[in-house]
Amino acid sequence: MKVAGEHRRTIVASADGSSVEIIDQRRLPHAVVLVRLSTAADAARAIREMWVRGAPLIGATAAYGFCFAMRDDPSDGGIERARRELLATRPTASNLRWALDEMRIAVAALAPARRFEAAAARAAAICDEDARINQAIGRHGLSLLSEISGRKPAGESLQVLTHCNAGWLATVDWGTALAPVYMAHDAGLPVHVWVDETRPRVQGALTAWELGQHGVPHTVIVDNAGGHLMQHGKVDICLFGADRVTANGDVCNKIGTYLKALAAHDNDVPVYAAVPHPTIDWSMTDGLAEIPIEERDHEEVRMVGGAPLFPAQSPVANHAFDVTPARLVTGIITERGVCRASREGLLDLYSERRRA
């Protein structure tokens, strides 16, 4: 997508695959700062400290971290060590494990001398595939947005509510939940986005920055305003990304998503999650019981602008994600189409899973 009018991806590899350039998302929206990663430790730090965010981009960054490890230690022990250390960076997103498993498969049967080259090729392919997948998600989501917009009075904007950032900054390119919005805007469909601030990391600032770069009308709201807007008929669809979707359609996304889904259910507002296939965890069937929920540093909540917001003696909890049960999710948008949030719905799209 575009930064200052120029197209770029969120992660760009050097010609020989020995390093990548990323956007340090901690510095956005105030400055676009590019950082070079050239070791597995660099990649692990970028993921853990949220220089990169979003399940697909985390997976792509981990793939290159694994690649760098194969340059430095292509032994069998090096494979397992790289996978273990990168996997430990963040526990919730399904794409991280998927990407590392793909990388291990790509190199395990090869002689050590060939592993770095194969790893570089697979990491590049993962990035290219992510861009293609998200573009397809955008097309399928555009059809959905067009259908909903067609039921509104002529000239009235389609009102979309988002939570967290699921744009191109969260992926290699295009984004997941924002890809349909970009395509709708480019197709001339009148669309407006309500952007949740998404505390404590304020990923809504990234969404607002992205939408502004693309020229999409939007309004930033506090996290607890969504229900009020829905009660007053000002939201037509809630559109989220996800960090993990279980085989039965439970959706794990940024903390606060569940509350938006509850409000949407009470106000007959449809809720859709837009996800690429690596986000679907077919090994899990109960999101509440099985998905590991990351708990991050308490200081993310306690400190605002470098100053403490709460008394030092007050304990703080910082759960980074929550799980929205499938019963509250109208549907899931994937690169293969739109389906019900259920095992049957997902299997209709991924028929090879039904045969397995």
Residue 2 is predicted with a pLDDT of 62
**In the chain, which stretches have pLDDT less than 50?**
none
Selected catalytic residue, list 243, 250, 281, 322:
243
All CATH 3.40.50.10470 domain ranges in the chain, comma separated = 136-355
Classify 312 in phi/psi space as left (phi over 0), alpha (psi -120 to 50) or beta. Answer: alpha
Residue 304 is predicted with a pLDDT of 83
User: Which pTM value belongs to this model?
Assistant: 0.94
Residue 69 is predicted with a pLDDT of 97
**160 with 269: CB under 8 angstroms?**
no
267: Cβ contacts below 8 Å, ≥ 6 apart: 227, 230, 231, 235
CATH entry 3.40.1190.20 includes domain 136-355: no
Concerning whether 297 is annotated as a catalytic residue, the answer is no
Residue 3 is predicted with a pLDDT of 66
6: Cβ contacts below 8 Å, ≥ 6 apart: none
Question: pLDDT tens-digit profile of 100-135?
Answer: 999 999 999 999 999 999 999 999 999 999 999 999
End-to-end CA distance of the chain: 37
Stated length of the chain: 356
Residue 292 is predicted with a pLDDT of 95
* Angle subtended by helix axes 204-214 and 178-186, to nearest 10: 20
Q: Which amino acid is at 189?
A: L
CATH superfamily, with its number, for domain 2-129: translation initiation factor eif-2b, domain 1 (1.20.120.420)
Residue 300 is predicted with a pLDDT of 92
Residue 1 is predicted with a pLDDT of 65
All CATH 1.20.120.420 domain ranges in the chain, comma separated = 2-129
> What's the CA gap between 86 and 42, in Å, rounded?
10
